[in-house]
Structure 1
């Protein structure tokens, strides 16, 4: 589990590094990325708990 969290943090920092030159869109991209990360974490927790999201 720690490995997954470290991978996610590395991806977040990489994403921020890539989008930093585009200062005009950085805020919007960050909001969209956070929303995507919340969905991703929700899916990971559903997979860990064994619940089906379609029911």
Structure 2
């Protein structure tokens, strides 16, 4: 569960970096956010699936 929480917090931090007014290379950061989003979703789904199989 800690891995999922860390992944969500990192994703939120990336979103904050994108929306900052002084963000240089915003288009490159947008690609990073898309990749981080898919990574976050896969981590959360795998954690939920692991929790369901442990019960």
TM category, shorter:
0.5 to 0.7
Structure 2 residue ranges without an equivalent (≥5): none
Task: Using structure 2 for the length normalisation, give the TM-score.
Answer: 0.56
The structure whose RCO (Cα within 8 Å, separation 6+) is larger is 2
Residue 31 of structure 2, aligned match among 8, 28, 33: 28
Structure 1 residue ranges without an equivalent (≥5): none
Task: Using structure 1 for the length normalisation, give the TM-score.
Answer: 0.56
RMSD, matched Cα: 2.8
How many residues are paired up?
47
Cα distance in 1 for residues equivalent to 2:35 and 2:12: 15
